[in-house]
């Protein structure tokens, strides 16, 4: 086989790929930050609702990691690289500061909900922006939004009256 026999990894229009990456990169960064903050909160949550919040935070982390993977793999499938190294995520994500140590369960929930809200802003911008650009990438953003909104609902139920 010669180099001329190799099919390119993608047939995506470079303009479409760049636009999709513009919207999905902040989503990837936000979800990676949510996963890290969620695990930090998971380890350090304290109080009467400990076990419920502790276990729910593991699900939030799993969902965030899955969503980040979906968004990042879509960018790569379109032929572009993604930089989601820890330093890049820390510099670019809009995550709040979860407690560095032990924290009451209700403060922990509020911090993680704030992180989810920050990611949802970027996800909604992606959904809107990708509408005219790339419907497959928009579908990725919609799937991520569904999961985030469900996780947010489950968390808020713990602090709602």
CATH superfamily entry for domain 12-159: Ferritin, core subunit, four-helix bundle (1.20.1260.10)
Give the pLDDT of residue 128.
98
Sign of CA dihedral 84, 88, 92, 94: positive
Residues 118 and 155: their CA atoms lie apart, in Å, by 15
Give the pLDDT of residue 96.
80
Helix (H, G, I), strand (E, B), or coil: what is residue 46? strand
User: Do 122 and 30 touch, CB atoms closer than 8 A?
Assistant: yes
Give the pLDDT of residue 3.
58
User: Do 148 and 133 touch, CB atoms closer than 8 A?
Assistant: no
Indicate the DSSP class of residue 97. -
Measure the CA angle with vertex 32, ends 62 and 80; round to 5°: 115
Q: Find all residues with CB under 8 Å of 80, minimum gap 6, and list them.
A: 17, 18, 21
Give the pLDDT of residue 97.
79
In the structure encoding, which two tokens stand for residue 161, read together?
A: 């009256």
CA dihedral 108, 110, 113, 117 (to 10 degrees): -140
Give the pLDDT of residue 136.
97
Q: Find all residues with CB under 8 Å of 30, minimum gap 6, and list them.
A: 93, 94, 95, 115, 118, 119, 122, 123
Give the pLDDT of residue 11.
72
In the structure encoding, which two tokens stand for residue 12, read together?
A: 């995506």
Give the pLDDT of residue 95.
82
Per residue of the chain (161 residues), give pLDDT as tens: 555 555 556 678 999 999 999 999 999 999 999 999 999 999 999 998 999 999 999 999 999 999 999 999 999 999 999 999 999 999 999 888 799 999 999 999 999 999 999 999 999 999 999 999 999 999 999 999 999 999 999 999 999 86
């Amino acid at each position: 086989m010669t180099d001329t026999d190799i099919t390119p990894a993608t047939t995506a229009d470079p303009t479409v790929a760049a636009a999709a990456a513009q919207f999905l990169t902040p989503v990837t960064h936000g979800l990676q930050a949510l996963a890290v903050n969620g695990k930090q909160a998971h380890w350090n949550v304290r109080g009467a609702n400990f076990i419920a919040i502790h276990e729910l935070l593991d699900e939030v982390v799993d969902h965030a990691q899955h969503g980040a993977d979906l968004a990042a793999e879509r960018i790569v499938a379109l032929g572009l690289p993604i930089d989601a190294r820890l330093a890049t995520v820390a510099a670019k994500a809009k995550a709040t500061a979860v407690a560095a140590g032990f924290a009451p369960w209700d403060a922990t929930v509020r911090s993680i909900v704030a992180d989810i809200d920050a990611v949802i802003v970027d996800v909604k911008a992606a959904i809107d922006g990708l509408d005219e650009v790339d419907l497959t990438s928009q579908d990725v953003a919609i799937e991520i939004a569904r999961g985030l909104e469900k996780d947010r609902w489950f968390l808020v139920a713990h602090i709602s009256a």
